Amino acid sequence: MSKPVRYIRIVGVPPGEAPLWVREKWVGVELPIASGKIVPQPFYTSGVLSGPRNRLIAIWRSLLGRLQQQYGYPVDVASALQILEQTAPDAAAWWRTNAPRLTTHKRTFLFQAAACELVPRRLQ
């Protein structure tokens, strides 16, 4: 039996390198948590624009202590952009145009816990 998918609702403008108007479009959106865990998890993160272009460079930066550890909820980029497309196609287009590397591999956005709330269980 598979685990139920848990969701977060974005309740505050998430921090990050995307323009403010793009980050504001996340507010009110409900997204599936990639890990399924209902508590924020620690992850090493980098900027969506300034971050490393591949995993090897990311590992190197991590070893050098150049990645920040953040607590939050991971969300699959492809799923998040598909959902964002429904309410803010201009913001989804910004992501696809300005950070296309995030959409070509199995990548996740990390939404910081302070900008999220858990959504009560949904009936599927």
Q: Would the pTM of this model clear 0.85, i.e. be above it?
A: no
Mean pLDDT of the chain: 82
Q: pLDDT digits over 59-103, tens only? A: 555 555 666 778 899 999 999 999 999 999 999 999 999 988 777
- Report the range of poorest mean pLDDT among 5-14, 73-82, 112-121: 112-121
Sheet of strand 30-32: strand arrangement? 30-32, 7-10, 116-118
User: CB of 80 within 8 A of CB of 48?
Assistant: no
Residue with tokens 């913001």: 91
Domain-located, residue 34: yes
The answer on pLDDT for 38 being more than 60 is yes
Domain-located, residue 54: no
Domain-located, residue 60: no
Domain-located, residue 77: yes
Torsion sign (Cα): 62, 66, 67, 68: positive
Query: How many structural domains compose the chain?
Result: 1
Domain-located, residue 65: no
Boundaries of domain holding 14: 7-43+70-118
User: CB of 73 within 8 A of CB of 98?
Assistant: no
CA distances from 48 to 7, 15, 29, 68, 108 (A): 22, 11, 19, 13, 11
Domain-located, residue 55: no
Torsion sign (Cα): 5, 6, 8, 9: positive
Domain-located, residue 99: yes
pLDDT tier at 14, thresholds 50, 70, 90: very high
User: CB of 120 within 8 A of CB of 22?
Assistant: no
CA distance 69 to 3: 27
Domain-located, residue 63: no
